[in-house]
Amino acid sequence: MRKPNLPKFFCIKNPEKTRWILGWMTGIDGDLVCVLPHVQTRVMEHYALSPVCSNRFLAFAAFIAKRILLAIDHNLRGLE
């Protein structure tokens, strides 16, 4: 099994605000940014979506918090 690449920052720019997301481009259709590198089910797509934040630091902090939550929450652990 090969080691996944590091997560990347993605930037969403619109006239009102710039938003940041940290994670892996993944999902069944390959169009979602998730906190897990290889998401293969619709249920995990919903649980593993990476938070969208107003700056890079908040995106990094939210990514870490959600990764920790997915690692320790007994209800979510079985969904992978």
pLDDT digits (tens, 9 = 90+) for 40-71: 999 889 999 999 999 999 999 999 999 999 88
Query: For residue 12, what are its two tokens?
Result: 């969403």
User: Alpha carbon of 47 to those of 13, 16, 18: distances in Å?
Assistant: 24, 28, 24
State yes or no: pLDDT of 80 exceeds 80: no
Structure tokens at 60: 């990094």
Q: What is the pLDDT of residues 1-43, one digit of tens each?
A: 556 689 999 999 988 889 999 999 999 999 999 999 999 999 8
Residue 48: Cβ-neighbour burial (10 angstroms; 0-12, 13-18, 19+): buried
Picking from 42, 27, 34, the residue whose alpha carbon sits closest to that of residue 70 is 34
Cα separation, 50 vs 21, whole angstroms: 7
pTM: 0.83
